[in-house]
Structure 1
Amino acid sequence: MSVAPAATPGQTNDDILSIFTRHPHLSGLPVVENDRPIGLINRNQFMNHLARPFHREIFGRKSCIAFMDNTPLVVAHDTPLTDLSYLALANGDKTLNDGFIVTDHDRYAGVGLGVDLMRAMTDLTAEKNRQVMESIHYASVIQQSFLRHSRRDMAATLDDYFMHWAPRDVVGGDYYYFVRRPEGFFAAVIDCTGHGVPGAFMTLIMASALNQVLRHADLRDPAGLLGEINRMVKASLGQQADEVVAADSQQSDDGMDTAFLFVDSQTRRMTFAGAKTPVFLLTPGSDAFEVLDGNRMGVGYVATPDDYCWDNREVTLAPGTTVYVSTDGLIDQIGGSKRIAFGKRRLRETLLRCRDQPLPAQQAELLETFDRWQGSEPRRDDVTVFGFRLP
């Protein structure tokens, strides 16, 4: 705000012309009567009026209120900046062009410029964005800390593997879990509803539910684990079908697609249960993948019954068998010259080409192929791919 010169109704248009001439940077001139603002004269409009033929001769000695806007934006000096921006927006373009009048207890205090308001709003937005990004980056530290134990157990258990976890944003809705047991290991690749901050919140809910269930549940029964987590998530989010009110726009309908698997290290028996997420198996000497499809029902959603039972599928892994699991962020990514999805077929073809390489090398080739396919297309979702080979 600046304390700009002010006119009175008793001053003529010739007086106003003189004021504008003395103050070339003055865009608007308040008109004040008895210390109270009654209007605002826009410099450009005023000059345009007087520049017309004979207008100065006709209007020069008349009161300046002839060219005054009698409905300018008038705000108190303690109006919050955010409220001021809303008022300026509601008042239309003239506030940005003419400025606005500032009062102190209804008395004239000064004038604000539209360009100053825009600059202040830009600075405020930049500061808020900085604070938000700092919070999100810290949330990323928290989210990754939840994965630390899984990474440690994975490295201690598997000799040849990769785990690629790449949120679309700083944080994401994909999550993985790995726990080592004397008799084998349990692994889960989870794709929660959404990405970014909402998706990250869902991963924390799922991680909490999984940790609670695993304290007492049988890891050899992935389908049973899915059933328990389904009931827990639906109850915690209030997503039972009989509690949903159709007209309630705030009602959540969130959950996860996932693959749960337990591998018995002695018998090489893998038990798998999936919610809309398959597992791909590649055995030595085979030119094609074996696909273990999960059930076509997500976990935790409103439409998923409380008592829904997923199916366990069991398979014995021959020596050298490689197992892959991917969330749909990789499969659904648009790219290529025809702008179509990467797809399961392209995923399998890429992995077949590098099947004899160690798993970290396979990861590098897969990601190079995927990045080349994506090209300049924006990333659509979080991407998680897990692969391991049993000796």
Structure 2
Amino acid sequence: MPLDSSAPAGSSGHVAGDLLESPITVASSNTNYDILELFTATPELGNIPVVNDGHPIGIINRNTFMSTLARPFHREIFGRKSCTAFMNPSPLIVDYHTPLTELSYLVLDIGEKGLSDGFLITSEGRYLGIGQGVSLMQALADQQAAKHRQMMESIHYASVIQQSFLQSSRRDMAGALSDYFMFWDPRDIVGGDYYYFVKRNDGFFVAVIDCTGHGVPGAFMTLIMASALKQVLTTHDLQEPAELLAAINRQVKESLGQLARDDLGGEDVRNEDMHSDDGMDCAFCWYHAPSRTLSYAGAKTPIFLLEENGDGIITIDGNRKGVGYVSTALDYRWDTHRVQLQPGTRLYICTDGIIDQIGGAKRICYGKKRFKESLLTHRHLPMAEQQHKLIQAFRQWQGENARRDDVSLFGVHIA
């Protein structure tokens, strides 16, 4: 006899009650012949709840019932007996408002029967209906898909925000340079790579930055670094890249609380007390056009120079300390390298997303050697065409291997 299965007041989404079904119910007074008749007349009926006086006492599963009754003499012996003989007397019983996530753990705890028999849904102990295991799996899949869509929509919008921070640099780059490229490709829509460019009457400043991590955590770090750089530029000169790195290092370490024992005058600060250990690798360059002088300071990020008639790539390495990390002293000083550039020199800066990418037949890193060989191969092309060739070679090396990191690559031909 079917019972009233209306939802209780105040029900909300993503709960057991969302899966409520109202199949035929029976009482313990019904016989196994009654159950056989119901299953025979209703092929789509998988489970029958057993309910006495509005309270659930068990579930009869079609497959279990039919296979048991088919045994020799079982129909004759058990046919007129109570249907409780073949029911599951300990079904999973849940309240209407049980969250689906909690319900999924309860179903998994009881194993296969939780999926095959389903679960009985009640309100204040009174039977409302039944939920099927397959319906729960579908609801969880739909819920996960909805969360994924929401997350991806948020990340795509975050990408718009992150790219908006690059707009002024793009404008200045286009206004100051005639033959150049800036390739920026996050691994996960948003990322931890960032670049900054400022045009001045007597030259330009360019920074290529690789923050800790990639994806959303990396993107958060780029915002922190962009803010730190902007603030530091209010009191420091663009023409001294090493001073900028030192100032950003102090600001990041202090704002994120990433101070080591030496920074605190010998006070013992254990690693577990640290909230984070994040920072950036980067190359900061100031080019003074009248004197054709390039001033460079780098944190684990080298620059590459290719002279017009040179035989090879000149590599200038930065310091081996990152900016802002716990292991970098609060008063650490980076070195400044000053280079007189010949007319026609090409300057390249890349993050380690290119250098460290696994690929090739032996699945090894792309490496600086292959990167420099690629620069030499395409040296006579205009910079925009060079970008295409360089990235094409990089992706051919990567092949079917997963991208390891964000990729940024800057190149400029200084006439």
What TM-score, normalized by structure 1, do the two folds share?
0.96
Whether 1:70 and 2:86 are equivalent positions in the alignment is: no
- Percent identical among aligned pairs is 59
Whether 1:201 and 2:220 are equivalent positions in the alignment is: yes
Whether 1:163 and 2:188 are equivalent positions in the alignment is: no
Amino acid paired to 2:357: Q
Question: Distance between the aligned counterparts of 2:106 and 2:220, measured in 1?
Answer: 35
CA contact (8 A) 1:174 1:199 kept: yes
Deviates more, 1:136-145 or 1:365-374: 365-374
Question: Distance between the aligned counterparts of 2:241 and 2:110, measured in 1?
Answer: 61
Question: Distance between the aligned counterparts of 1:21 and 1:302, measured in 2?
Answer: 72
Whether 1:39 and 2:64 are equivalent positions in the alignment is: no
Q: Which residue of structure 1 lines up, in the alignment, with residue 347 of structure 2?
A: 323
Amino acid paired to 1:122: A
Amino acid paired to 1:235: E
Note the C-alpha offset of 1:182.
2.2
1:334 to 358, 363, 367: 358
Note the C-alpha offset of 1:80.
2.8
Whether 1:266 and 2:290 are equivalent positions in the alignment is: yes
Amino acid paired to 2:323: V
What are the superposed Cα offsets for residues 163-207 of structure 1, whole Å, 9 maximum, x if unpaired? 000011111110000011222211100001111111111111111
DSSP-derived class of the 2:67 partner: helix
Note the C-alpha offset of 1:244.
5.2
Note the C-alpha offset of 1:72.
1.6
Q: Which residue of structure 1 lines up, in the alignment, with residue 150 of structure 2?
A: 131
Amino acid paired to 1:237: L
DSSP-derived class of the 1:95 partner: helix
Question: Distance between the aligned counterparts of 2:225 and 2:357, measured in 1?
Answer: 24
Q: Which runs of 5+ in 1 are unaligned?
A: none
Note the C-alpha offset of 1:51.
1.3
Equivalences for residues 241-252 of structure 1 within 5 A: 241-242=260-261, 245-247=270-272, 251-252=275-276
Q: Which residue of structure 1 lines up, in the alignment, with residue 6 of structure 2?
A: none
Amino acid paired to 1:227: A
DSSP-derived class of the 2:49 partner: strand
1:354 to 378, 389, 394: 378
Equivalences for residues 148-227 of structure 1 within 5 A: 148-227=167-246
Amino acid paired to 1:98: D
1:5 to 21, 24, 31: 24
Question: Distance between the aligned counterparts of 1:187 and 1:116, measured in 2?
Answer: 56
Q: Which residue of structure 2 lines up, in the alignment, with residue 16 of structure 1?
A: 35
What TM-score, normalized by structure 2, do the two folds share?
0.91
Equivalences for residues 53-68 of structure 1 within 5 A: 53-68=72-87
What are the superposed Cα offsets for residues 188-240 of structure 1, whole Å, 9 maximum, x if unpaired? 00001111111111111111111111111111111111111111111222211
DSSP-derived class of the 1:241 partner: coil
Whether 1:143 and 2:168 are equivalent positions in the alignment is: no
Note the C-alpha offset of 1:307.
1.1
Q: Which residue of structure 2 lines up, in the alignment, with residue 281 of structure 1?
A: 305
Question: Distance between the aligned counterparts of 1:241 and 1:71, measured in 2?
Answer: 58
Question: Distance between the aligned counterparts of 1:66 and 1:235, measured in 2?
Answer: 72
Aligned residues: 390
Question: Distance between the aligned counterparts of 1:363 and 1:244, measured in 2?
Answer: 46
Amino acid paired to 1:176: Y
Deviates more, 1:312-321 or 1:372-381: 372-381
DSSP-derived class of the 1:135 partner: helix
What are the superposed Cα offsets for residues 139-181 of structure 1, whole Å, 9 maximum, x if unpaired? 0000000000000001111111110000111111100000112
What are the superposed Cα offsets for residues 100-120 of structure 1, whole Å, 9 maximum, x if unpaired? 111122101111111212222
RMSD: 1.5
1:381 to 388, 401, 405: 405
Q: Which residue of structure 2 lines up, in the alignment, with residue 233 of structure 1?
A: 252
Note the C-alpha offset of 1:79.
2.4
Equivalences for residues 289-304 of structure 1 within 5 A: 289-304=313-328
Q: Which residue of structure 2 lines up, in the alignment, with residue 307 of structure 1?
A: 331
What are the superposed Cα offsets for residues 324-370 of structure 1, whole Å, 9 maximum, x if unpaired? 11101011111111211111111100110111111111111111111
CA contact (8 A) 1:276 1:298 kept: yes
Q: Which residue of structure 1 lines up, in the alignment, with residue 394 of structure 2?
A: 370
Question: Distance between the aligned counterparts of 2:288 and 2:278, measured in 1?
Answer: 32
